[in-house]
Amino acid sequence: MIAIIVGLIVALIIFVVVVSGIQQHKEKQEAEKRVKVAKQKAIIDESEELLLNLASLPSSPNLVKILNRRCLNAAKAMKGLMPNVKGIKSKVNELTARYDAADDLAATQANDDNFVLPDNDQQILAILQCIKKIRATLKSEQSKGTLDAQTFTQEDQRLDSMQLKINIESLVKRGSQAQSKDMLGSSRQYFEKALQTLASHPVSSEYTKSKHAEITQQLAEITESLKVTNASDAAKKAKNEEDELDVLFQPKKKW
């Protein structure tokens, strides 16, 4: 009888341990699912924020399509992990419709490469940060296999060209403003930095060639202006020194 009781107690302990282990395993799985769902939710939020920021850039139907597909894939992953999450089915349907519309737009509308540089430096900085985030996102999608190499290269080069234009136009604008205020030293620094940026860029284009020629010409004008200014300053300095010598060696008055 005692052996039976001891056996039952041991069996009960084993049962409790097994049940506890199964429960802990389930809790661990649920926690891992919640982490994965949160990650997918963050991808959706980030992609939708980038879609909103695209309004500040020249229109690109392909980028709209890529970001909408990223949102849809993340929503489908959430649904697969936790199908009972509130509103997930309607979200998938909404994103599916949005992706289909973006796909149709990409098939019929071409990219717009016209870009107007904002006057506000903070807006320019925000646009540059947006471009960097989009390029990082494209790289991530390409590494996951959801974006083909040709489309990635095409869009990444387009964004790279846009980023270069913003940097160059911003430097040229600042240089021209400094030049108009006769701050020739500062102006020359801006133009020289613009030339360095063009020289370090690996891709040569009509834009880079024309800008290089334009900036080189502006630098030549500044150099000539500095020569004239320096010559004028030297002449004034020499005249002042001559006047001081005349005063020093002029005949002394007799009292």
Q: Which of 54-58, 155-159, 195-199 has the lowest mean pLDDT?
A: 54-58
How is the chain split into domains, by residue range?
A: 7-112, 115-201+209-226
Measured CA to CA, the distance from residue 60 to residue 202 in angstroms comes to 23
Measured CA to CA, the distance from residue 202 to residue 37 in angstroms comes to 40
Neighbours of 88 (CB within 10 A): 18
Q: So what's the pLDDT on residue 3? A: 76
Q: So what's the pLDDT on residue 245? A: 45
Task: Work out the average pLDDT over 86-96.
Answer: 91
Give residue 155's pLDDT band: very low, low, confident or very high (50, 70, 90). Answer: very high
Asked whether the predicted pLDDT for residue 159 surpasses 50, the reply is: yes
Tens digits of per-residue pLDDT, 3-20?
Answer: 777 777 778 888 888 888
Taking alpha carbons only, the member of 145, 33, 29 closest to residue 88 is 33
Tens digits of per-residue pLDDT, 26-67?
Answer: 888 888 888 999 999 999 999 999 999 988 888 888 999 999
Share of the chain above pLDDT 70, in %: 88
Task: Work out the average pLDDT over 188-195.
Answer: 93
Give residue 255's pLDDT band: very low, low, confident or very high (50, 70, 90). Answer: very low
Q: Which amino acid appears at position 210 of this protein?
A: S
Sign of CA dihedral 87, 89, 93, 96: positive
Rounded to the nearest integer, the mean pLDDT of the chain is 84
